[in-house]
Structure 1
Amino acid sequence: MTIPIRTIHPSVLYFGQPVALLSTLNPDGSSNLSPISSCWALGRRLVLGLGLDGQAWANLQRDPGLVLNLPEAAQWRAVEKLGRLTGVAEVPAHKAATGYQHCADKFAAAGLQPLASEQVRAARVRECPAQLQARALLPEGQALELALQQARQRGFLILEAEVLQVHAHERICLPGSEHIDTAAWQPLLYVFRHYCSTSAPLGANFRAETPIPQEACPA
């Protein structure tokens, strides 16, 4: 059977990324929250995509401690409340033109509660089921200048961070283990600028360390 296929030119390529709330430390000791969808993990390393004109990058240059807070699907409205807010006091013109406004307390704006971290000074988001404390691995000297030059050309910075500690709500943890219960965890996804959720687990990869309960798998 012939399957019709056409060439398309989408304006964005967010084909399915997890949403995270990035906590960084403000100059006054409070914490900034930045909703991001360009993040992934490999081993104990995180890779983050950040805009150069946001408060998160400004904060990380002073204090590399951060928290990657992972909301679940039901919390998408709280995430969206942060969509047009920036911690930068003087909102860049291109952001102001699209409706961005300065907000000093993003936790309050989103109806979320800060929770003290143990390894970094930036606060965790109490309501997020998974919270990864990490430290940004900032390049130095000429390496930093080169990274910033490339970032200015493409409009964003690619940054690595080392995970220091992970917290998770008890209800998404498998009893008696260090693992997340994927049948209980429904992360929030960003798919072509729409908020989506995952379905029930379909199956386990051969490297998975825990089985999926049969009742959680669709027929």
Structure 2
Amino acid sequence: MMHIASEPSILYFGTPVVLIGTKNPNGTDNLAPMSSIFWLGWRCIIGLAAASKTTENLLLNRQCVLNLASVNEVAAVNRLAKTTGSNPVPDGKLLKGYRYEADKFAIAGLTKQHAATVKAPRVKECPVQMEAVVEAIHGLAADDAGQRGKIITFELRIQRVYLHEAILMDGHPNRVDPDKWKPLIMSFQQFYSLGDKVHASTLSEIPERLYNTLDRERAIKSYELSGDDER
């Protein structure tokens, strides 16, 4: 086998599926699946089409909930495919077969939960829920007039994390057990998940507490000051 020069239309080698909960201008809730995301500490970067309803809501409210779906929610996530909260539907999405849906939770068959620190919905069925605020907004492809302004990246700071007990490491309420957590993964427009561990990791020898960040400490302090600590 050898490498060949290739030009795939998308470079989507596998990232977790996130259902982003945001609040619409009229006070209703929006829920959108996406998987252009990565984390560093208690911050993450997401990329969204500038014309999406989620982008509009984030620019307006600067708040959201990142609900990470597991393999168990795949059918619900799929029911949200090619739906949008934008009315009329943007031309680019019309071309791809999207339709307007006002109540995304009803379409997906998912349950809303109240968020403690943001005005946006959590998804009860998702094992991981992270309340977040927008800290910075960046455009993409500023050097290219043909693409400039079409994609927006958001830097989000996590304020509150909720984890389902079923994915926690035994005896460790602040650690996820990777053998129990089976995230839904999008790879080249298809749904996958994680398989068995393939090799022992040298990095796992580093205690997780050494990755603590000031953002996490800030969030913990806010729990204590608010008096609604649910940990």
Give 2:176's aligned residue.
180
Quote how far apart the aligned CAs of 1:86 are. Answer: 0.4
- Give the SS at the match of 2:58: helix
The 2-side partners of 1:205 and 1:118 are apart by: 36
Quote how far apart the aligned CAs of 1:154 are. Answer: 6.4
Matched, 1:193 2:180: no
Give 2:61's aligned residue.
63
The 2-side partners of 1:193 and 1:98 are apart by: 13
The 1-side partners of 2:92 and 2:203 are apart by: 45
The 2-side partners of 1:16 and 1:174 are apart by: 25
**Superposed counterparts of 1:9-48, under 5 Å:** 9-48=7-46
Identical positions, percent: 35
Question: Would the aligned equivalents of 2:30 and 2:103 in 1 still touch at CA under 8 Å?
Answer: yes
Give 2:104's aligned residue.
106
Q: Which of 44, 56, 71 does residue 73 from structure 1 map onto? A: 71
Question: Would the aligned equivalents of 2:38 and 2:46 in 1 still touch at CA under 8 Å?
Answer: yes
Quote how far apart the aligned CAs of 1:14 are. Answer: 0.4
Quote how far apart the aligned CAs of 1:155 are. Answer: 2.6
| Structure 1 counterpart of 2:168, one-letter code | C
Which shifted more, 149-158 or 126-135? 149-158
Give 2:156's aligned residue.
161
Q: CA 1:95 to 1:205, structure 2 compared with 1: closer, same or farther past 3 Å?
A: same
TM-score, structure 2 length as denominator?
Answer: 0.81
The 2-side partners of 1:201 and 1:184 are apart by: 11
Quote how far apart the aligned CAs of 1:56 are. Answer: 0.6
Which shifted more, 105-114 or 86-95? 86-95
**Superposed counterparts of 1:141-160, under 5 Å:** 147=139, 150=142, 153=148, 155-160=150-155
Quote how far apart the aligned CAs of 1:170 are. Answer: 0.7
**Superposed counterparts of 1:80-91, under 5 Å:** 80-91=78-89
TM-score, structure 1 length as denominator?
Answer: 0.86
- Give the SS at the match of 1:157: strand
- Give the SS at the match of 1:13: coil
| Structure 1 counterpart of 2:7, one-letter code | H
Which shifted more, 22-31 or 188-197? 22-31
| Structure 2 counterpart of 1:181, one-letter code | D
- Deviation track 1:39-87 (CA, whole Å, cap 9, x = no partner) reads 0100111100011101111111221111111001232221111111100
The 1-side partners of 2:186 and 2:77 are apart by: 11
Gaps of 5+ in 2: 209-231
Quote how far apart the aligned CAs of 1:148 are. Answer: 7.6
The CA RMSD measured in Å over matched residues stands at 1.9
Give 1:137's aligned residue.
135
Quote how far apart the aligned CAs of 1:184 are. Answer: 0.7
